[in-house]
């Protein structure tokens, strides 16, 4: 759990210290005062990435050259852990765990896990396939750090293969064909591993996601998830061979995990195009809650759950159902409105103008 979060020159915070509880903390403030910036910092210290997709230099307060995010943790064994991240507008920042500098970002993964649900998560259902692929892959990394290396390797191979396809100009000489064979073999091996991992994840997470949705919206909704890219039927090597002519013509890799889709359906119909916005938002929330519960069970360490301005996006029934079904563990809820009675917070923090009011 996060016991204390300190921010220095982060977004609109000149300097602020937040003491959190092991239970539920509710952060209250008007729009534009820094609630989402606070939620973003909580997640940033776990992954060194913004869930809003902002680059590192955008997180530094205007007029400052560096920002600090510092978190004092206490793990499940009672041991204290200090994570400190320095962000710079120019050059690279640095990260320390217990005053020891980390050489790689990957070394931080797994020290702290954070699950965030924010209004923009509607794109998990309403957006393109890339949003759903990212959801699957981020969940895999939360389950096991090894998938971060596998994801990076897959990205590297696809980029190299695409570069070769562009350079070929639609035709292969002997050297280019040999090199493409090499990249196809690498993509086939790595892609098959990633495909198996994604398929297993969907099988494991599916029941948690469906249960979460039905608790929020009522039973019998008929939610289903399907990850079944056609290349998994024939094998990626065969699919790449069949797509080679098309790939050469288009100068891009058209087959593989980087093009896959996670199909989401409600009542047998595609949720992206046929579900109401209320159904889509509920399904997006169920995706986050389902993954949260799966990660907690499989890793033995419950992630911090951050609900950023979610209550305003749900009707009263679903908001009450959500608050009544929150999993055990540390929870942070941000809201611009009144605190619902069902929230039963252990601590309330009020924010105004990038400071604790």
Model confidence over 242-253: pLDDT tens digits?
Answer: 999 999 999 999
Q: 114-169: per-residue pLDDT in tens?
A: 999 998 999 999 999 999 999 999 999 999 999 999 999 999 999 999 999 999 99
pTM of the model: 0.94
Q: Which residues contact 114 (CB under 8 A, 6 or more apart)?
A: 42, 43, 45, 46, 47, 303, 304, 305, 306
pLDDT of residue 338: 84
Ordered alpha helix ranges (H), the chain: 35-47, 123-126, 129-143, 146-168, 174-217, 231-234, 236-250, 271-274, 277-299, 316-324
Q: Taking all residues of the chain, what is their mean pLDDT, rounded to a whole number?
A: 94
Residue 12 CA neighbour count, 13 Å, CB half: 15
Q: What is the pLDDT of residues 70-96, one digit of tens each?
A: 999 998 788 999 999 999 998 888 999
Give the end-to-end CA distance of the chain in Å, rounded to a whole number.
24
Separation between Cα atoms, residue 37 and residue 186, nearest integer Å: 40
Classify residue 269 as exposed, middle or buried by CB count within 10 Å of its CB (0-12, 13-18, 19+).
Answer: exposed
Residue 306, SS3 per DSSP = strand
Q: What is the pLDDT of residue 273?
A: 96
206-223 confidence digits (pLDDT tens) = 999 999 999 998 888 899
Structure tokens at 46: 């776990």
Res 232: pLDDT: 96
Q: Is the pLDDT reported for residue 14 higher than 90?
A: yes
Predicted confidence at residue 51, as pLDDT, reads 94
Quick count: other Cβ atoms within 10 Å of Cβ 334?
Answer: 25
Q: Are 141 and 147 in contact (CB under 8 A)?
A: yes
* The pair of three-digit structure tokens given for residue 149, joined into one six-digit string: 């290396």
pLDDT of residue 311 exceeding 90: no
pLDDT-derived band at 339 (thresholds 50, 70, 90) equals confident
Portion of the chain with pLDDT greater than 70, in percent: 100
Phi, psi dihedrals of residue 52, rounded to the nearest 5° = -90, 0
Mean pLDDT, range 259-272, rounded to an integer: 97
pLDDT digits (tens, 9 = 90+) for 17-68: 999 999 999 999 999 999 999 999 999 999 999 999 999 999 999 999 999 9
For residue 218, the model assigns a pLDDT of: 84
- pLDDT at residue 24, rounded to an integer: 94
Domain boundaries, the chain: 124-300
Tokens 């009675």 correspond to 341
Topology (CATH) of 124-300: Glutathione S-transferase Yfyf (Class Pi); Chain A, domain 2 (1.20.1050)
Position 324 scores a pLDDT of 87
């Amino acid at each position: 759990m996060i016991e204390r979060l300190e921010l220095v020159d982060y977004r609109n915070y000149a300097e602020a210290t937040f003491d959190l509880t092991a239970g539920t903390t509710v952060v209250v403030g008007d729009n534009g005062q820094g609630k989402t910036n606070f939620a973003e910092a909580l997640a940033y210290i776990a992954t060194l990435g913004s869930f809003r997709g902002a680059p590192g230099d955008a997180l530094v307060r205007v007029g400052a050259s560096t920002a600090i995010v510092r978190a004092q943790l206490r793990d499940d064994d009672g041991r204290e852990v200090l994570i400190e991240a320095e962000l710079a507008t120019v050059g690279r920042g640095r990260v320390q765990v217990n005053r020891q500098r980390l050489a790689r970002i990957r070394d931080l993964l797994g020290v702290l896990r954070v699950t965030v649900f924010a209004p923009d998560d509607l794109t998990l259902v309403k957006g393109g396939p890339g949003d759903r692929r990212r959801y699957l892959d981020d969940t895999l990394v939360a389950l096991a750090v090894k998938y971060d290396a596998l994801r990076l390797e897959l990205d590297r191979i696809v980029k190299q293969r695409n570069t070769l396809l562009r350079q070929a100009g639609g035709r292969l000489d002997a050297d280019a064909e040999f090199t493409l064979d090499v990249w196809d073999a690498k993509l086939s091996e790595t892609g098959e591993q990633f495909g198996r991992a994604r398929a297993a994840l969907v099988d494991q997470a599916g029941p948690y996601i469906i249960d979460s949705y039905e608790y929020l919206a009522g039973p019998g909704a008929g939610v289903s998830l399907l990850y079944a890219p056609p290349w998994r039927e024939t094998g990626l090597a065969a699919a790449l061979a069949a797509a080679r002519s098309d790939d050469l013509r288009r100068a891009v890799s058209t087959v593989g995990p980087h093009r896959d889709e996670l199909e989401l359906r409600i009542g047998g119909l595609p949720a992206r195009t046929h579900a109401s916005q209320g159904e889509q938002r509920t399904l997006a929330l169920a995706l986050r809650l389902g993954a949260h519960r799966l990660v907690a069970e499989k890793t033995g360490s419950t992630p911090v759950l951050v609900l950023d301005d979610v209550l305003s996006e749900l009707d009263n029934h679903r908001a009450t159902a959500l608050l009544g079904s929150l999993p055990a563990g540390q929870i942070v809820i941000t809201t611009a409105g009144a605190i619902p009675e069902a929230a039963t917070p252990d601590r309330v923090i009020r924010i105004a103008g990038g400071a604790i009011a």
